[in-house]
Amino acid sequence: MSDKMNVGIYVFEGMTMLDGYAPLQILSFVEQFNTFTFSKEGKAVRSDSNTVLTPDYGFDDCPPLDILVMPGGGDVFGQMSDATVQAFLKDSGAKAKYITSVCTGALILAEAGLLDGHRATTHWAYIDQLAKYPEIEVVDERVAVDRNRISGGGITAGLDFALTVVAEVVSPELAQTIQLIFEYRPQPPFNTGSPETAPAEIVERVKGMVAERNQPLYEHLANK
Amino acid sequence: MSDKMNVGIYVFEGMTMLDGYAPLQILSFVEQFNTFTFSKEGKAVRSDSNTVLTPDYGFDDCPPLDILVMPGGGDVFGQMSDATVQAFLKDSGAKAKYITSVCTGALILAEAGLLDGHRATTHWAYIDQLAKYPEIEVVDERVAVDRNRISGGGITAGLDFALTVVAEVVSPELAQTIQLIFEYRPQPPFNTGSPETAPAEIVERVKGMVAERNQPLYEHLANK
């Protein structure tokens, strides 16, 4: 038996690939971790970048999870309303030592009750929706750490999230080493990564895109 | 016929997945781009994170490239010394309107002569190796833009790289919009993303890891 921790990254049709694959790349460099992906049926799925994601496992043969990583995407409602997915999370997911998310993956965990009683964050355009769950203390932070719950903000927060997971679970020194290997000294070409700093017309355009595709989510959460 | 630009990301056995998949995620959100992956034989490969990468094409059916994106990894020498790969680059790769790389992908392009006469950058631990090519002006920048050659630094530079590609090829406004969608306001948990800022013992450890696996590369380039 390996004494490595099992780190499982869930993958699903239409997900934002980078939400899961940025943490996957970082966490796979940790020798204390056995990092893998799993989908509902163990079959390949297509991400929102039209990329084929081939999982290592399905729900039925997924190793016991020490760390669950839940990515998000523009259609998380499909995962929130899938009884099989939610049942897996309430059973196998709830048993994980660390329950974590990137981007709108927090909403999928929230629906399963896995963030109740904890601080958590999500993509900036979905903060208001996560706040509909009364038992969650929603914060607008890059990475929110609350005991064994670790959540990241939108998409690219997966890098800061994964380094934080390494620092919390293994050691800050290893996280620092990986940060150097990954040459993570970001230089964003613009200052538009936040609704506070982006031009108003760009913020409104993105908010409109998000609203257009999320009516079922909004209706579902309106009654919380 | 689509009038979209064909953006092809090469994938190969042992590559650093994130080098290619971070740009893939960003570039796939550009409606002017037809973004896809391709491998030498059109078959799936395993990345250095042990992730199965399923390409859309092989060399034999790869659409004509408008933008070539070359990722890297710890074993780029395998691609530099593969006659079929190098022949593809010198033929189909050289015809691309934009020839680009992330991380040590620059060394693969360099070996094919595709960076001759241009400024280019690479992962910090490989800058000295890229500088062995006398016809390349090697710079230590996050993203180096020189006419139709665009290269990024190590791994995570793929984000800054891809946003720069969008700004250069399409428009700064679209790049700004995508930066907001991706919530790209990075907050690295440590200040160790560069050899100038990381503790000396961590820099030495990473340099040792890099040197250990790259003897064939060093021997090959020693005679340049």
List the single residue in B18, B35, B179 with the smallest CB-CB distance to A25: B18
With CB atoms and an 8 Å threshold, state whether A123 touches B160. Answer: no
At the fourth CATH level, the homologous superfamily of domain A5-187 is Class I glutamine amidotransferase (GATase) domain (3.40.50.880)
Convert B162-192 to b/e letters by CB count within 10 Å (16 or more is b). Answer: bbbbbbbbbeebbbbbbbbbbbbbbebbbeb
With CB atoms and an 8 Å threshold, state whether B155 touches A181. Answer: yes
CB-CB neighbours of A207 under 10 Å: 14
List the single residue in B51, B156, B183 with the smallest CB-CB distance to A193: B183
In this prediction the pTM is 0.98
With CB atoms and an 8 Å threshold, state whether A189 touches B163. Answer: yes
Beta strand B52-53 pairing with B45-46: antiparallel
- DSSP element (H, E) containing A21: helix A17-27
Measured between CA atoms, how close is B6 to chain A, in angstroms?
Answer: 14
By C-alpha distance, the chain A residue nearest B179 is A193
Measured between CA atoms, how close is B85 to chain A, in angstroms?
Answer: 23
pLDDT recorded at residue B210: 96
Three-class SS state of B192: coil
pLDDT recorded at residue A96: 98
pLDDT recorded at residue A75: 85
Could you give the residue numbers annotated as active site of B? Answer: 103
Q: What is the ipTM of this complex?
A: 0.97
Return the number of CB contacts < 8 Å for A and B: 204
- Is residue A84 within 8 A of residue A100, CB to CB? The reply is no
With CB atoms and an 8 Å threshold, state whether A17 touches B18. Answer: no
- Is residue B48 within 8 A of residue B74, CB to CB? The reply is yes
Which residues in chain B have Cβ-Cβ distances shorter than 8 Å to A180?
Answer: 192-195, 198, 202-203, 206
- Is residue B182 within 8 A of residue A102, CB to CB? The reply is no
Q: How far apart are CA B38 and CA A115, in angstroms?
A: 40
CA torsion sign for A156, A159, A160, A164 is: positive
List the single residue in A172, A180, A203 with the smallest CB-CB distance to B180: A203
| Positions in chain B whose pLDDT score sits under 70 | 1
pLDDT recorded at residue B40: 98
pLDDT in tens, B19-66: 999 999 999 999 999 999 999 999 999 999 999 999 999 999 999 999
pLDDT in tens, chain A (224 residues): 579 999 999 999 999 999 999 999 999 999 999 999 999 999 999 999 999 999 999 999 999 999 999 999 988 999 999 999 999 999 999 999 999 999 999 999 999 999 999 999 999 999 999 999 999 999 999 999 999 999 999 999 999 999 999 999 999 999 999 999 999 999 999 999 999 999 999 999 999 999 999 999 999 999 88
pLDDT recorded at residue B1: 54
Domain boundaries, chain B: 5-187
Convert B91-116 to b/e letters by CB count within 10 Å (16 or more is b). Answer: ebbeebebbbbbbbbbbbbbbbebbe
List the single residue in A156, A185, A192 with the smallest CB-CB distance to B176: A192
Which residues in chain A have Cβ-Cβ distances shorter than 8 Å to B33?
Answer: none
Could you give the residue numbers annotated as active site of A? Answer: 103
